[in-house]
Structure 1
Amino acid sequence: MDRTFTSFSAFVLLGVVAADLRQALIFVVCLVVATAFHEFAHAFAADRLGDPTPGRDGRLTLNPLAHADPVGTIGLPLMAGLLHLPLFGWGRPVMTQPRFYTRGMSMRAGMALVSFAGPLANVLQATVTLLAIKLLLVAGVEHKGLFEVLVLFFTLNLTLAVFNLLPVHPLDGGKILAWALPARFSHIDDTLARYGWTILLALMLIPGLLQTLFTPVGIVRDWALRLVVG
Structure 2
Amino acid sequence: MSEIIQTLTVYALPVLFAITFHEAAHGYVARLFGDATATLEGRVTLNPLKHIDPIGTIAVPVGILLLSKLLGGPALLFGWAKPVPVDFGQLRRPKQDMLWVALAGPAANMLMAIAWAIGLRILFDSGERAGFWFEMCQAGIHINLVLMALNLLPILPLDGGRILFSLLPNRLAWQYGRMEPYGMWVVIALLATGMLTTLISPLVAGGEWILRLFL
Per the normalisation by structure 1, the TM-score is 0.78
Gaps of 5+ in 1: 1-18
Partner of 1:14: none
Counterparts in 2 of 1:117 and 1:136: CA distance versus 1, 3 Å: same
Query: Deviations for 1:43-68, whole angstroms, at most 9, x for unmatched residues?
Result: 10111122221112111111112111
Q: Could you tell me which residue of structure 2 aligns to residue 59 of structure 1?
A: 43
Paired residue type of 1:93? P
Q: How many residues align?
A: 207
Partner of 1:114: 101
* Backbone CA RMSD of aligned residues: 2.5
Q: Which of 93, 96, 112 is the equivalent residue of 2:83?
A: 93
AA in 1 matched with 2:11: F
Aligned to 2:158: 171
Deviations 1:166-197 (A, max 9, x none): 11101011111011112353366245435312
Query: Which residue number corresponds to residue 16 of structure 1?
Result: none
Residue equivalent to 2:136 = 149
**Alignment partner for residue 197 of structure 1, among 177, 184, 188?**
184
* % identical equivalent positions: 37
Kept in 2, the 8 Å contact 1:155–1:221? The answer is no
- Structure ranking higher in helix proportion: 2
Confirm or deny: 8 A CA contact 1:119 1:165 kept in the other structure.
yes
- Helix, strand or coil at the partner of 1:20: helix
User: How much has 1:218 moved relative to structure 2?
Assistant: 5.4
CA 1:63–1:182 in 2, change beyond 3 Å: closer, same or farther? same
- Higher relative contact order (CA closer than 8 Å, sequence separation 6+): 1
> Is residue 77 of structure 1 aligned with residue 66 of structure 2?
no
Unaligned runs of 5+ in 2: none
**1:186, 1:226 → 2: CA distance?**
36
In the alignment, residue 48 of structure 1 is paired with which amino acid? Answer: L
Tell me the distance in 2 between the aligned counterparts of 1:195 and 1:29. 31
Distance 2:208 2:95 in 1: 36
Q: Out of 171, 178, 195, which is 1:209 matched to?
A: 195
1:161 to 145, 148, 151: 148
Q: For residues 20 and 54 of structure 1, do their structure 2 counterparts lie closer, same or farther at Cα, with a shift above 3 Å needed? A: same
